[in-house]
């Protein structure tokens, strides 16, 4: 595949690994924020060839994993109601809340449709005019503008049987909250490529300034990841901490202002519960009053209830990079991708799922 | 979490959930030495020779797709399950479960397709059955086919026969069928020609066994669960490890591109016209030449080797120069979120 296989080719990777080994002069703790990075690192077997001094820890950048159990339970509650059909991205299907999962709800008769774009949910709303179609939306800045555009389109088409349940979250406040934790000693941040196409590399400047942390935006192919890690290692060696863009073919300094405007036209920041991280101020995105008729929480009078984390589950600690999946007593025993206890096991981008699929020996 | 109390789609995925259902429910209650082999076909000793017997149900949605339809799939799939034990397919049964309201035109199209597949493969349907269920109680059409074949006296093909040193050969590109169905289901219109690879493989197997006697130890058609899951099953049955070279596994560019978009790994996508052969390493080149001389195996490639490592372990050496395990599929492959 042109422009993909080149970024996976051993002939470029081997010299990059050699360069990294030359530059790295002390143990480095780097967090890959994004779940897609975690998965790419495993899928391409990079852990087997990276220098031992490099410790890669996974961050909170898997949207399904950080969705609170209270949200999942509310999703299931809506899905189980008469006359409702819910649309979701596939990753949400098996995520367990306190009261089962959407997969289980479907097997009991709930109508759950897996879609590839929020616009597909609009098509469903037109196809089933007698039903309430609810898009259960989980995602970061990469997803939110699409959902905003979908709501605007629903308004244009005057659809009155379509709503969105917004469990959206935005990344910068969560990263700041994470870095406020004194236990987390990080040497650098591998910043998420997809999210950065929207928020721009500039969004990390406050982190570099306020926390003295090296930040490099990275793409998702092995060559991209290695180049970004090299930039981080160079900063560490030269005792600099700035933002660099290692994914210039997709990410600009300013990001995508049009997408951000779309997002802020339709959504407003609210305090939001993150699984494992607690309530983070202004880290969620609620549908604005102006578009209240498309807000599923209002239409179905949903009140999020406090849901306890499953006993023994370390997802919270793992999402903060404080623990490894192998530290969890449930990992690969009671908790597997087939019968996940915690969210990090169920999402294909979850840290535990990545360890389970690719790192067990 | 409590043990699963209802059947989930995962149980039909051909991955770990399906295997657990078989191990925990079917095998304990129906156990006998033939069933316990858990191969693509059962081999039953009749006293006058070995009979291969297999059955498979087809529930694909959509029922018509680029490269085939549910009828052709049902014929080829069962023929292939017989061929994977080295059997000569003799005849098939065809059982239809039809949903009230299915257009007669669709049924006719499917039966003509069954006819064409049977003629092409030279394996007849010799018995059949039809049931109709009320609208909404089925999904257009489900098909079950069973097949009978004969195994020549000297042929010994089994997952248990794989041994360290064997070459792992794949008969062509992987993932074509699975990605075609997924993109159809998702209504994605992608550039390039994604088509199912549904094809009968018994002639290819015949030629391999006839022209390189004794060289082939194991055959498996990597349908649901894909190449990775089939190799895990073989590695478990034969108590060996398998090492794959990612760069040597044929994947069509359009299939690879669609996988990138949908977040799928082609190692886990279904194939309906491909086989995995585990072959004595000294004869691997010869077997590869034989395979490539037929259209069914034109793109065959050696994709890895069997090693004496831990039982049931499949390792993928990546194009990037790294390595990781490639375990069985756990459930229905789902698209990613972002």
Is the residue at A94 inside a domain? Answer: yes
Cα dihedral: A263, A268, A271, A274 (round 10): -20
Mean of pLDDT values over A305-332: 86
- The rounded distance, in Å, linking the Cα atoms of A195 and A142 is 5
Mean of pLDDT values over A189-206: 96
pLDDT cut 70: percent of chain A above it: 99
Report yes or no: A148 and A262 within 8 Å, Cβ to Cβ: yes
List the Cα angle B287/B291/B294 in 5-degree steps.
Answer: 150
Residue B216 in tokens: 């082939």
The C-alpha R_g of chain A, in whole angstroms, comes to 21
Smallest CA–CA separation between B281 and chain A, in Å? 26
Say how many domains are in chain A: 3
Which of B16, B330, B336 shows the shortest C-beta gap to A349? B336
Is the residue at A306 inside a domain? Answer: no
The crossing angle, in degrees rounded to 10, of helices A118-127 and A144-156 is: 30
CB contact under 8 A, A63 and B9: no
CB contact under 8 A, B320 and A96: no
Position A205 pLDDT exceeds 70: yes
Give the residue from chain B lying closest to A313, CA to CA: B1
Is the residue at A308 inside a domain? Answer: no
Position A305 pLDDT exceeds 70: yes
**Do residue A112 and residue A235 come from a single domain?**
no
Contacts of B245 (CB under 8 A, 6+ apart): B303, B304, B317
- The rounded distance, in Å, linking the Cα atoms of A296 and B216 is 59
Among A177, A182, A174, A201, CA closest to A190? A201
Residue B237 in tokens: 């049955």
Is the residue at A62 inside a domain? Answer: no
- The rounded distance, in Å, linking the Cα atoms of A101 and B152 is 50
pLDDT in tens, B180-234: 998 888 777 665 689 999 999 999 999 999 999 999 999 999 999 999 999 999 9
DSSP alpha helix (H) spans, chain B: 16-21, 27-30, 70-83, 104-121, 176-186, 202-211, 226-237, 253-262, 284-292
Is the residue at A63 inside a domain? Answer: no
Higher confidence at residue A297 or residue A116?
A297
Contacts of A25 (CB under 8 A, 6+ apart): A237
pLDDT in tens, B146-165: 999 999 999 999 999 999 99
Per-residue pLDDT, A166: 97
| Across A250-254, A268-272, A312-316, B301-305, least confident range | A312-316
Q: Which residues of B90-99 are buried (b: 16+ CB within 10 A; e: fewer)?
A: eebbbbbbbb
Q: What architecture (CATH level 2) is domain B159-325?
A: Alpha-Beta Complex (3.90)
| Across A17-26, B11-20, B167-176, B318-327, least confident range | B11-20
Report yes or no: A180 and A149 within 8 Å, Cβ to Cβ: no
- The rounded distance, in Å, linking the Cα atoms of B250 and B227 is 11
Mean of pLDDT values over A36-60: 91
**Do residue A230 and residue A324 come from a single domain?**
no
DSSP assignment of B148-216 equals: EEEE-TT----GGG--TTPEEEE-S-SSHHHHHHHHHHHT---SS---------HHHHHHHHHHSTTTE
**Do residue A79 and residue A35 come from a single domain?**
no
pLDDT band at A164 (very low <50, low <70, confident <90, very high): very high
CATH number of B40-151: 3.30.1330.10
Per-residue pLDDT, B335: 58
Position A2 pLDDT exceeds 70: no
Range of the domain at A274: 69-170+256-299
- Identify the CATH number of the domain in which residue A177 sits: 3.40.50.11750
Among B226, B219, B223, CA closest to B205? B219
Per-residue pLDDT, B1: 39
Per-residue pLDDT, B2: 44
Domain locations along chain B: 40-151, 159-325
Is the residue at A309 inside a domain? Answer: no
CB contact under 8 A, A336 and B330: yes
Among A272, A271, A269, A266, CA closest to A288? A266
Give the residue from chain A lying closest to B261, CA to CA: A116
CA distances from B161 to A13, A35, A273, B215 (A): 38, 40, 54, 11
**Do residue A163 and residue A73 come from a single domain?**
yes
pLDDT in tens, B115-149: 999 999 999 999 999 999 999 999 999 999 999 99
Per-residue pLDDT, B5: 73
Per-residue pLDDT, B3: 46
pTM: 0.88
Per-residue pLDDT, B172: 98
| Across A40-49, A96-105, A254-263, B23-32, least confident range | A96-105
Higher confidence at residue A141 or residue A69?
A141
Residue B72 in tokens: 């052709």
**Do residue A36 and residue A185 come from a single domain?**
yes
**Do residue A77 and residue A143 come from a single domain?**
yes
Q: Which stretches of chain B sit within 8 Å of chain A by CB?
A: 1, 4, 6-10, 16-17, 20, 186-188, 247, 253, 256-257, 260, 262-263, 265, 316-325, 327, 330-331, 334-338
Report yes or no: A360 and B325 within 8 Å, Cβ to Cβ: yes
Per-residue pLDDT, B262: 82
Contacts of B182 in chain A (CB under 8 A): none
Is the residue at A198 inside a domain? Answer: yes
Q: Which residues of A290-326 are buried (b: 16+ CB within 10 A; e: fewer)?
A: ebeebbbbebbebeeeebebbeebbbbebbbbebbbe
**Do residue A115 and residue A209 come from a single domain?**
no
Residue A20 in tokens: 């990294």
pLDDT in tens, B38-73: 888 999 999 989 999 999 999 999 999 999 999 999
Which of B1, B188, B334 shows the shortest C-beta gap to A91? B334
**Do residue A111 and residue A184 come from a single domain?**
no
pLDDT cut 90: percent of chain B above it: 82
**Do residue A219 and residue A74 come from a single domain?**
no
Cα dihedral: B35, B39, B42, B44 (round 10): -90
Among A65, A59, A80, A40, CA closest to A138? A65
Position A223 pLDDT exceeds 70: yes
Per-residue pLDDT, B171: 98
pLDDT cut 90: percent of chain A above it: 70
**Do residue A351 and residue A327 come from a single domain?**
yes
Is the residue at A270 inside a domain? Answer: yes
**Do residue A100 and residue A155 come from a single domain?**
yes
Mean of pLDDT values over A221-230: 96
pLDDT in tens, B264-294: 899 999 999 999 999 999 999 999 999 999 9
């Amino acid at each position: 595949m042109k422009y993909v296989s080149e970024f996976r080719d051993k002939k470029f990777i081997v010299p990059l690994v050699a360069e990294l080994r030359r530059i790295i002069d002390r143990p480095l703790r780097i967090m890959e924020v994004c779940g897609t990075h975690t998965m790419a690192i495993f899928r391409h077997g990079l852990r087997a060839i990276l220098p031992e001094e490099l410790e890669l820890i996974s961050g909170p950048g898997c949207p399904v994993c950080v969705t609170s159990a209270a949200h999942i339970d509310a999703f299931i509650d809506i899905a189980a109601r008469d006359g409702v059909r819910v649309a979701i991205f596939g990753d949400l299907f098996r995520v367990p809340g306190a009261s089962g999962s959407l997969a289980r709800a479907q097997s009991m008769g709930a109508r759950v449709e897996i879609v590839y774009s929020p616009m597909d949910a609009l098509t469903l709303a037109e196809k089933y005019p007698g039903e309430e179609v609810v898009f259960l939306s989980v995602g970061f800045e990469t997803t939110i503008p699409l959902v905003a555009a979908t709501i605007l389109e629903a308004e244009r088409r005057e659809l009155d049987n379509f709503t969105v349940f917004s469990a959206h979250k935005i990344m910068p406040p969560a990263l700041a909250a994470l870095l406020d934790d004194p236990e987390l000693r990080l040497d650098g941040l591998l910043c998420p490529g997809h999210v950065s196409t929207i928020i721009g590399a500039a969004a990390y400047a406050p982190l570099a300034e306020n926390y003295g942390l090296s930040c490099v935006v990275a793409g998702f192919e092995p060559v991209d990841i290695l180049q970004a890690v090299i930039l981080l290692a160079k900063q560490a060696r030269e005792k600099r901490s700035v933002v660099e863009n290692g994914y210039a073919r997709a990410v600009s300094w300013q990001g995508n202002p049009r997408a951000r405007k779309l997002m802020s036209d339709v959504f407003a920041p609210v305090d939001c519960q993150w699984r494992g991280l607690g309530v983070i101020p202004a880290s969620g995105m609620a549908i604005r009053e102006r578009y209240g008729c498309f807000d599923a929480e209002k239409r179905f009078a949903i009140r999020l209830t406090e849901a306890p984390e499953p006993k023994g589950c370390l997802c919270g600690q793992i999402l903060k990079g404080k623990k490894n999946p192998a530290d969890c007593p449930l990992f690969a025993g009671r908790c597997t991708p087939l019968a996940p206890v915690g969210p990090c096991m169920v999402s294909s981008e979850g840290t535990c799922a990545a360890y389970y699929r690719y790192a067990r020996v | 979490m409590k043990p699963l109390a209802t059947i989930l789609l995962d149980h039909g995925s051909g991955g770990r959930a399906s295997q657990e259902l078989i191990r925990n429910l079917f095998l304990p209650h129906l156990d006998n030495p033939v069933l316990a082999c858990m191969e693509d076909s059962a081999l039953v000793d009749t006293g006058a020779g070995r009979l291969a017997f297999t059955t498979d149900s087809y529930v694909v949605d959509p029922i018509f797709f680029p490269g085939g339809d549910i009828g052709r799939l049902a014929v080829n799939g069962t023929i292939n399950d017989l061929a994977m034990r080295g059997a000569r397919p003799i005849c098939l049964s065809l059982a239809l479960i039809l949903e009230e309201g299915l257009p007669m035109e669709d049924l006719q199209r499917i039966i003509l397709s069954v006819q064409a597949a049977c003629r092409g493969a030279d394996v007849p349907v010799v018995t059949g059955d039809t049931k109709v269920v009320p609208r909404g109680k089925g999904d257009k059409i489900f098909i079950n086919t069973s097949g009978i074949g004969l195994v020549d006296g000297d042929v010994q093909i089994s997952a248990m026969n794989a041994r360290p040193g064997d070459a792992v050969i794949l008969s062509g590109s992987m993932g074509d069928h699975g990605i075609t169905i997924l993109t159809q289901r998702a209504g994605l219109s992608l550039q390039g020609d994604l088509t199912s690879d549904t094809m009968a493989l018994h002639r290819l197997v015949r030629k391999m066994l006839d022209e390189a006697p004794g060289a082939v130890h194991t055959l498996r058609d990597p349908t649901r669960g894909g190449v990775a899951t089939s190799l895990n099953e073989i590695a478990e049955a034969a108590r060996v490890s398998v090492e794959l070279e990612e760069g040597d596994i044929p994947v069509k560019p359009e299939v690879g591109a669609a996988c990138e978009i949908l977040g799928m790994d082609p190692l886990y996508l279904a194939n309906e016209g491909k086989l995995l052969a585990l072959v004595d390493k000294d004869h691997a080149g010869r077997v590869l030449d034989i395979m490539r001389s037929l259209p069914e195996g034109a793109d065959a490639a050696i994709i890895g080797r069997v090693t004496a490592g831990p039982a049931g372990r499949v390792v993928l050496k990546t194009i990037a120069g790294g390595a990781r395990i490639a375990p069985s599929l756990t459930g229905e492959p789902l698209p990613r979120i972002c």
